[in-house]
Structure 1
Amino acid sequence: MSKKIKIATIGGGSSYTPELVEGFIKRYEEFPLSELWLVDIEEGKEKLEIVGNLAKRMIAKAGLPIDVYLTLDRREALKDADFVTTQFRVGLLNARAKDERIPLKYGVLGQETNGPGGLFKGLRTIPVILDICKEMEELCPNAWLINFANPAGMITEAVLRYSNIEKVVGLCNVPIGMEMGIAKLLDVDHSRVRIDFAGLNHMVYGLDVYVDGVSVKEQVMEKLTDPENSSFVKNIEGQGWEPEFLRALNALPCPYHNYYYKSKDMVDKALKSAETEGTRAEVVQKLENELFELYKNPDLVIKPPQLEERGGAYYSDAAVRLITSIYNDKRDIQPVNTMNRGAIASIPNDSAVEVSCIITKDGPKPITVGDLPVPVRGLVQSIKSFERVAAEAAVTGNYNTAVLALTINPLTPSDTIAKQIVDEMLDAHREYLPQFFKETVETK
């Protein structure tokens, strides 16, 4: 009898979980999952039960022998797991709303994974991920950690640098979204498209793009100058690139590059949105409420199409494709966050990068790209410095390091503004940042 396969999903009450379940159902023949453990915290109990029941209905409709367990006991979920997937949000969407609103008061972009929002999401998330890593060492030392929690690059960096877990892969739906978007632009099947990705999470570039192994980069670059074609994710509306800029850049930017190459436009847009429909977090809160109302319906036995509006489209394709390829030693090519190991010459070998890799039973093997092109190299290195310093701040709880991290981020205009934002956001997120308030606690 073949060994049972157990997956533990931390943040199992997430609205994304039906995506994941759909992926396991679609790929069951390649990856015969036995047990899916969905784990969450007390505050997420109601959502966990709603999503968990939908997951059970989806699996029952598919007629598959997958047992779904719902628990608030993380250790129970982790015990003897083969894969651990993480998709949680410390502080829930209320914390994200603060990440987005507070920086805007200072004329700085408020966004989930970039600038101050990315810093503070990392500061809240990294200590929790490192706790999970310690439990994995004890309870499932041979498991793979597949992290989807943002900021995925910074979290992968922290795990590689501050834990003993080596079997870690960071995952994002942006590269697969770009592949799907380009397949649609060219009116070809996604399986025929391949992009040479290199850079960092939410700072990744397509260095070349192929259909059936033949480069179609120039054709794609031309199409990307149309605003209608310039973004591939639901949560970032494309602004359209100046044709001259794009031709000279000679690389495919990802949607998140809008925040760096169109900073003022994006800040102005965020300010306007915050006054009218609300920040992205506030929009998502409404969307999530609607989704969970749908999920409650006992007659719903599939992933509802409305989930794609959430911004996580193709998550299941990316996550389950990766897990299946590791399990089957497929040696196919996928873009993931992993240790650089010399793949990108412009980045330290022991740092996390997002790059096209050959996926084996021993994990991702990065495909060497050499030096990044000069026009993109400096920005990528700047963000890598930010990620490194931010991860250090998260682990040490050092206030000065947090201020430094935000100051060196290209989206922050000055050290003075960085300090003001850090002060206000530390206060706003105090409950989730105990590492920064150790002395106060000890004094009391």
Structure 2
Amino acid sequence: MKLTVVGGGSTYTPELIDGFARLRDTLPVEELVLVDPAPERLELVGGLARRIFAKQGHPGRIVTTDDLDAGVEGADAVLLQLRVGGQAAREQDETWPLECGCVGQETTGAGGLAKALRTVPVVLDIAERVRRTNPDAWIIDFTNPVGIVTRALLQAGHKAVGLCNVAIGFQRKFAGLLGVAPADVHLDHVGLNHLTWETGVRLGGPEGENVLPKLLGEHGDDIAADLSLPRVLLDRLGVVPSYYLRYFYAHDEVVRELRTKPSRASQVAEMERELLKMYADPALDEKPALLAKRGGAYYSEAAVDLAASLLGGGGSPYQVVNTYNKGTLPFLPDDAVIEVQAAVGAKGATPLAVQDVDPLYAGLMANVTAYEDLALEAALRGGRDRVFRALLSHPLIGQYEYADALTDQLIAHNREHLAWA
């Protein structure tokens, strides 16, 4: 089995490598190719990756290259984890929206749109090259904004599934609180990427006992603290929202915080510098503890599980993924990309049935889905007016003066990445 990671020079990659090494019985990788245009980073990450495999006795071969076509040739699955513009672009995404009093964040609001505009054309080009070289390869997208990027891939006819680590993070958290194995926790997870709610927590599978009321009753303070939301809100909702919902439920509070502390991008950039220094140490043969603060917790387990199921191996029968709606949520178009539990196998992901969704959540999902439609149109076709329409439609913006100013800022800060600008 051959797997290729595009963006393999990311400081995330040792997390992925560690998962491949530990879970080799689930996903027996014979050749792992790390593709990245940055040779210095790739050399450091590739060296550590080989040492991790060696320490854990993994017999697989790790190859590094900056040649995308060679790297994806013959691959059974291609994982995308790239960041167009790097941390410098992320720093901009997180800062200039604050000038209009809007949240600065890399996956939602104006910053999220900027990332989508930079990313979608690049990902589609990569996917076309994968299809020319190896049309049977699965594409697993971990590149944000996952919902928009996955929809672009599916709309272009690619064999693609989107992946996020929010759900597996909740699964691990709840399993620890309940004192059970993570595999015994099944989430009633519903929404769009980075706009999701846990409406049930079931033991043993989709039909198991719902212990979410018990979790909230006994551990509500702990859960609320992780989300930086008040316990009383969780009690009133009766669900556990993703931490990304804080940008919606406490928008102005978040803006005030972001204006008074260093950006997440600057913190991550500093971590990356430290991590790369660590990776250069020839004695290091395991992922360092600092990597846990970088983000992407449990990404490796989720990626291995998904790849194993898509490639006919021993992955979990049900996994939270991003895929076409296909009537699962009747208030959204069939071709909307949703994030829900799905049955995953060699033919792809089939969403499980979802019980009636509270209008409180359905309304926001419908609004953001409309924004994602307009965002994808802007990413594919360009133009100032399309950018403006997408920003005006976003529930975190919604005022024409803000949308107008943010449009100018977005284009000014991203001109080098926008072919039409």
1:289 aligns with 2:273: yes
2:157 maps to which residue? 164
Mapped contact 1:20–1:315 kept (Cα < 8 A):
yes
Structure 2: how far apart are the matches of 1:242 and 1:391? 36
Structure 2: how far apart are the matches of 1:118 and 1:197? 22
Cα distance 1:231–1:315, how it changes in 2: closer, same or farther (>3 A)? farther
Match of 1:417 among 389, 399, 402: 402
CA RMSD of aligned residues (A): 1.5
1:20 aligns with 2:16: yes
Deviations 1:93-117 (A, max 9, x none): 0000000010111111000101011
1:312 aligns with 2:296: yes
Structure 1: how far apart are the matches of 2:356 and 2:384? 34
Structure 2: how far apart are the matches of 1:122 and 1:369? 28
1:299 aligns with 2:283: yes
3-state SS, counterpart of residue 334 of structure 2 = coil
Cα distance 1:170–1:231, how it changes in 2: closer, same or farther (>3 A)? farther
Structure 2: how far apart are the matches of 1:293 and 1:134? 35
2:241 maps to which residue? 253
Match of 1:188 among 177, 180, 202: 180
Structure 1 residue 63 displacement after superposition: 2.3
Cα distance 1:347–1:329, how it changes in 2: closer, same or farther (>3 A)? farther
Deviations 1:201-253 (A, max 9, x none): 00011121123422111122335642x42265xxxxx323352x433423221
Match of 1:36 among 29, 32, 49: 32
Structure 1 residue 410 displacement after superposition: 1.0
Deviations 1:309-332 (A, max 9, x none): 011110101111111122216561
1:99 aligns with 2:93: yes
Structure 1 residue 65 displacement after superposition: 2.1
Mapped contact 2:224–2:234 kept (Cα < 8 A):
no
TM-score (norm 1): 0.91
The runs of 4+ residues in structure 1 deviating greater than 3 Å are: 222-225
Q: Number of matched residues?
A: 417
3-state SS, counterpart of residue 63 of structure 2 = strand
Structure 2: how far apart are the matches of 1:206 and 1:229? 12
TM-score (norm 2): 0.96
Mapped contact 1:345–1:372 kept (Cα < 8 A):
no
Cα distance 1:297–1:52, how it changes in 2: closer, same or farther (>3 A)? same
Structure 2: how far apart are the matches of 1:220 and 1:152? 29
Query: Aligned AA for 1:356?
Result: Q
Query: Aligned AA for 1:384?
Result: T
Structure 1 residue 187 displacement after superposition: 3.2
Cα distance 1:223–1:160, how it changes in 2: closer, same or farther (>3 A)? farther
1:270 maps to which residue? 258
Deviations 1:358-387 (A, max 9, x none): 111111111011542212110011111111
Mapped contact 2:26–2:304 kept (Cα < 8 A):
no
3-state SS, counterpart of residue 116 of structure 1 = helix
Mapped contact 2:307–2:315 kept (Cα < 8 A):
no
2:377 maps to which residue? 392
Mapped contact 1:35–1:68 kept (Cα < 8 A):
yes
Within 5 Å, which residues of 2 pair with 1:3-402? 5-41=1-37, 44-161=38-155, 163-165=156-158, 167-212=159-204, 213-223=208-218, 225-226=220-221, 228-230=222-224, 238-243=227-232, 245-273=233-261, 278-327=262-311, 328=313, 330=315, 332-402=317-387
Deviations 1:72-125 (A, max 9, x none): 111111111110000000000000000001011111100010101110100000
Structure 1 residue 141 displacement after superposition: 0.2
Structure 1 residue 421 displacement after superposition: 1.2
Cα distance 1:10–1:338, how it changes in 2: closer, same or farther (>3 A)? same
Query: Aligned AA for 1:357?
Result: A
Cα distance 1:101–1:181, how it changes in 2: closer, same or farther (>3 A)? same
Structure 2: how far apart are the matches of 1:257 and 1:367? 23
Structure 1: how far apart are the matches of 2:212 and 2:361? 17
1:441 maps to which residue? none
Structure 1: how far apart are the matches of 2:82 and 2:315? 28
Structure 1 unaligned segments of length 5 or more: list them: 233-237, 438-444
Structure 1: how far apart are the matches of 2:194 and 2:255? 17
Structure 1: how far apart are the matches of 2:228 and 2:124? 37
3-state SS, counterpart of residue 230 of structure 1 = helix
Structure 1, 370-379 or 385-394: larger mean CA deviation: 370-379
Structure 1: how far apart are the matches of 2:220 and 2:229? 6
Structure 1, 264-273 or 323-332: larger mean CA deviation: 323-332
Structure 2 unaligned segments of length 5 or more: list them: none
Structure 2: how far apart are the matches of 1:359 and 1:157? 18
Mapped contact 2:22–2:56 kept (Cα < 8 A):
no
Query: Aligned AA for 2:301?
Result: D
